[in-house]
Amino acid sequence: MKKILTAVFVWTASLMLRTQVNAYSPTPDILSMTQALKTQLNQITSGNVKDKRDYYTQLKTLMPMFVSDERLSYVLKELANAMYLPILNEKAKAKQASRTGKQEFLAAYMTGIKDISVPDNCTGRYNLLDTISFANNFPTALTMATRYRESNCGYYLPNNGDGPFQILSKDYGTGQINENLFVQTVQDFIDFSKAKRQQYKTKLWISLTYTWINWTGLINHSALYNGGIISGNIVQPIAPKYVYDGYGDAYSGATRYGVVPKFLKTLQWELGNTY
């Protein structure tokens, strides 16, 4: 992740904190400085949505540190918006462009899913998960379906320390979770998934993006994430229920969806509520 020039903000903060004001309206010098910083960040992140997301995350982390100073709060908020709003605009375009293709995919594979009525709260943080997934060019429904299968979308740190996506190589601790750490676990999941895909790229065909999905890639990813035996260009799942629970007659007795049917159900919800 690229780092903001923290020294710039510390220097700016020291200047601003010298004089306290009762009501704040940005002065010409503050407006000029803010615009210059916006221009600098836009140049650095030009054409790179992930960089914009990374800088936005850093700015959002800085904001509570300077909440008592209205001027610096203004600058940080303006810079954060300058990074975040283009992401939303590009994401909206991507949704519109991919809507028909995703509807066709859903129509081809949606039949055969058992209706499991166990409640979950997987859509509660949709906008955050969707923005992170988009910034990383990764299917949002796959992020959400994996979180569901691994931790039932709970907003906490499981007792084994492996986090909400159960990445064995990580140690997140246990108990409560905050937004910064939650965002990190989502990013770790996407990075881990892409690293596995890269590791087996000569043996497997996995091509999944924010705007494009396919059945073979979805099955391969789901099986590989949980562990599987490579056979040709297909992963034979070590735990087939992890992938298929609730999909088709062979897995109709499930009480919780596997990643694939949960992906389909989530995509159905997305198309009906966010596109």
Same domain, 84 and 123: no
Residue 40 — pLDDT band, cuts 50, 70, 90? very high
Whether residue 19 is predicted with pLDDT greater than 60 in this model: the reply is no
Instruction: pLDDT band for 9, please (50, 70, 90 cuts).
Output: low
Does one domain contain both 183 and 257?
yes
| Claim to verify: residue 65 and residue 135 sit in the same structural domain | no
Residue 151 has pLDDT above 70, yes or no: yes
Q: Return the number of other C-beta atoms located less than 10 Å from residue 184's C-beta.
A: 16
64 & 164 share domain: no
**Residue whose C-alpha is closest to residue 1's, from 177, 179, 184, 128:** 184
Q: Is residue 234 part of a domain?
A: yes
| In the predicted structure, residue 17 carries a pLDDT above the cut 80 | no
Question: What whole-number distance in Å separates Cα of residue 125 and Cα of residue 120?
Answer: 12
Residue 262: count of CB within 10 angstroms of its CB: 28
Indicate whether 196 belongs to any domain. Answer: yes
pLDDT at 7: 42
State the pairing for strand pair 234-237/228-231. Answer: antiparallel
Residues 172 and 211 in one domain: yes
Number of domains in the chain: 2
**d(C-alpha 225, C-alpha 147), whole Å:** 12
Q: Give me the pLDDT at residue 10, please.
A: 47
Interatomic CA distance for residues 132 and 56, integer angstroms:
11
Its domain, for residue 53, covers 6-90
For residue 231, the 8-state DSSP code is: E
Helix then strand count (H, E) for the chain reads 10, 2
123 with 73, same domain: the answer is no
- Select the more confidently predicted residue: 105 or 199: 105
The C-alpha atoms of residue 251 and residue 66 are separated, in whole angstroms, by 53
Q: What was the pLDDT predicted at 191?
A: 97
Average pLDDT, the chain: 91
Listed residues 58, 90, 122: the one ending a domain: 90
pLDDT tens profile 202-240: 888 888 999 999 999 999 999 999 988 888 777 889 999
Q: Identify whether 95 is part of a domain.
A: no
Residues 144 and 241 in one domain: yes
Over the stretch 49-83, which tens digit does the pLDDT of each residue have? 999 999 999 999 999 999 999 999 999 999 999 99
Q: Which amino acid, one-letter code, is at 245?
A: D
- Which of 84-88, 198-202, 212-216 is least confident? 198-202
- The pTM of the full predicted model, rounded to 2 decimals, is 0.89
Provide mean pLDDT across the span 177-202.
93
Task: Tell me if 22 is assigned to some domain.
Answer: yes
Q: Between residues 47 and 24, which one has the greater pLDDT?
A: 47
pLDDT for residue 3? 58
- What is the model's pLDDT at position 117? 87
Mean pLDDT of 84-107: 97
CA separation for the pair 191, 143 (Å, rounded): 11
Inform me whether the pLDDT recorded for 189 exceeds 90.
Answer: yes
Q: What confidence score (pLDDT) does residue 141 get?
A: 98
Q: Are residues 40 and 123 in the same domain?
A: no
